[in-house]
């Protein structure tokens, strides 16, 4: 069997064990796992010890193995992301209709912004290059800079260290220097909005605002994208005001209070 096939089998066995344990609230012992999984004892032990090491399985005093609440946390995070899409979608549609431009809801994972929802206007020749599931760099997008601005300096430095090797100068306006970025992030903190002024793509201007969770963390953001040629002071100020108003309403629905 090839290494690739062996790895796939290991993943299948791991998830089979997790699924069996998820159906048995009090857990199962090794003999019961052998019977239900039809798997050799040594393989079961290898998977169990790995999952115990990373906190997904615990062993009871009577030698039963059961899932920990860490697994529940994964499900809750997914449900939260599904729920927030339902909450935010009407606001995204409202902003898109008002501006006749593409709007986005993003979440943050590692060193990237992930697009959870995207609303494209029907009658607009300009179509932003965005889609559900797209990943964008934190340092070169309005939504990404919103997230970076929410971090303390130590967290920001740590995040930058993770990003540094993969930083690309997408355009002549892309900020690739941490000191320069920190200056802009301070302004973002003061103003509660961020912009991407052709930093990721030419002729693309984006405005992003934070969405606050019930505990005040910035786990999501919303944004609207314009062709740079369309942007003027009046549209800029109107869009920021409208986005901030939507952000406040969404954050309140999520349980956030200033």
The DSSP string of 101-137 is SEEEEEEEETTEEEEEEEE--SS-S---S--TT-EEE
Domain count, the chain: 2
Is the predicted pLDDT of residue 72 greater than 70, yes or no?
A: no
Asked which of 67, 84, 106 is the last residue of a domain, the reply is 67
In this structure, the answer to whether residues 136 and 249 fall within a common structural domain is yes
- Is 166 domain-assigned? yes
In this structure, the answer to whether residues 180 and 86 fall within a common structural domain is yes
In this structure, the answer to whether residues 38 and 90 fall within a common structural domain is no
**Where in the sequence is the domain holding 12, given as residue range(s)?**
3-67
Q: What is the pLDDT of residues 81-100, one digit of tens each?
A: 668 888 899 999 999 999 99
Please provide residue 162's backbone torsions phi and psi, each rounded to the nearest 5 degrees: -70, -35
Asked which of 67, 100, 118 is the last residue of a domain, the reply is 67
pTM of the model: 0.69
Helix (H/G/I), strand (E/B), else coil: 176? coil
Q: What is the mean pLDDT of residues 202-208?
A: 95
Helix (H/G/I), strand (E/B), else coil: 52? helix
pLDDT at 114 (0 to 100)? 92
In this structure, the answer to whether residues 7 and 134 fall within a common structural domain is no
pLDDT at 81 (0 to 100)? 65
- The mean predicted confidence, pLDDT, of the chain is 89
In this structure, the answer to whether residues 109 and 230 fall within a common structural domain is yes
Residue 220 DSSP symbol = E
In this structure, the answer to whether residues 91 and 169 fall within a common structural domain is yes
Asked which of 29, 45, 67 is the last residue of a domain, the reply is 67
In this structure, the answer to whether residues 42 and 80 fall within a common structural domain is no
Q: Could you give the percent of the chain with pLDDT greater than 70?
A: 92
CATH number at residue 30: 1.10.10.10
Where does the pLDDT of residue 1 fall: very low under 50, low under 70, confident under 90, or very high at 90 and above? very low
In this structure, the answer to whether residues 12 and 97 fall within a common structural domain is no
- Is 258 domain-assigned? no
Residues 6+ away with beta carbon under 8 Å from 124:
100, 101
């Amino acid at each position: 069997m090839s290494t690739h096939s062996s790895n796939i089998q290991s993943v299948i066995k791991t998830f089979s064990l997790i699924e069996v344990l998820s159906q048995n609230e009090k857990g199962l012992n090794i003999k019961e796992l052998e019977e239900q999984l039809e798997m050799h004892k040594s393989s079961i032990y290898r998977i169990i010890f790995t999952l115990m090491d990373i906190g997904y399985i615990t062993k009871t005093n009577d030698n039963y193995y059961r899932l920990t609440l860490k697994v529940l946390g994964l499900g809750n995070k997914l449900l939260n992301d599904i729920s927030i899409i339902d909450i935010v979608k009407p606001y995204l549609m409202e902003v898109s209709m008002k501006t006749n431009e593409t709007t986005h809801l993003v979440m943050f994972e590692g060193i990237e912004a992930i697009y959870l929802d995207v609303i494209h206007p029907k009658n607009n020749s300009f179509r932003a290059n965005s889609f559900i599931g797209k990943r964008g760099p934190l340092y070169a997008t309005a939504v990404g800079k919103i997230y970076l601005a929410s971090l303390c300096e130590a967290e920001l430095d740590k995040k930058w260290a993770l990003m540094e090797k993969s930083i690309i100068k997408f355009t002549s306006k892309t900020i690739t220097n941490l000191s320069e970025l920190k200056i802009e992030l301070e302004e973002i903190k003061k103003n509660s909005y961020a912009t991407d002024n052709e930093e990721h793509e030419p002729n693309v201007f984006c405005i992003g605002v934070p969405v606050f969770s019930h505990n005040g963390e910035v786990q999501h953001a919303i944004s609207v994208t314009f062709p740079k040629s369309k942007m003027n002071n009046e549209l800029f100020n109107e869009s920021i005001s409208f986005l901030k108003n939507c952000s406040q309403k969404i954050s309140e629905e999520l349980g956030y209070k200033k």
